Amino acid sequence: MQTSKSTRIFSLVIVIAFCIVMPTIGYINIGLPPVIIVGGSAIVGFLFWYFTYLKNPTDPKIILPLFLLTVAGLQIHIIEEYETGFAPAMSRLFEIPWTERSFLLVFALVGPTVYTLTSLGLYYRVPLAGFIAWFIFIGPGVAEFTHYVFPLLTPSLEPGNVSDITQTIHGVEVANMPNYYYKTTGNYYFSGMWTAFLPMIPGIYSIYRLMKEHRLQAE
């Protein structure tokens, strides 16, 4: 069942606005890393969504289980990130004002609400839900590999100090920022690294499966 032209245009306007507004908000409130990670994932997700889902939404029996598995892996991954101070660690790494409170607000409260509504939208083949799904497959799916790179990057704040620090960054106090720099700790680890593969595996498989389904539909 094809999406009507008016619905496609409306969905395009909303998604393009999302791809512009969300990275901009992230840049204003946190800094450049959210623009690179969130903005990059949004643009790549937009391209996949535009050419696969927008005109001909994927059968819910195919995309919905893939989305739910990826989100389930993501939520388990977020538990490890919370327990090991992912947001403060990122703040120390890039000198950005990302507090634990804002992390919880976005990923533990707003996120699950969006995932629930997206699941409902995928069931009813709503184009906007398809974009959110593709964004999740690309972002928390593929982009989680960055967790394995972060321990190698020199932190912007006190890279040689192994202890947690508290500092005011751009007017925001960020408490208990851990240091996961490999050369300082001698331990190759960064917050969330052990469970990063949980959303990656279904996320990457989802891209393969959905592209295969798209090719079959085009034949």
Spell out, as residue ranges, where the chain has pLDDT lower than 70.
1, 34, 219
pLDDT at 217: 81
pLDDT at 219: 66
Looking at the DSSP bridge assignments, the partners of residue 169 are 172
Spatial separation of the C-alpha atoms in residues 3 and 57, rounded to whole Å: 7
pLDDT at 153: 96
Spatial separation of the C-alpha atoms in residues 188 and 215, rounded to whole Å: 41
Angle at 26 between CA 85 and CA 174, to 5 degrees: 35
pLDDT at 34: 67
pLDDT at 63: 97
C-alpha 179, offset from chain centre:
22
Q: Are 21 and 39 in contact (CB under 8 A)?
A: no
pLDDT at 12: 95
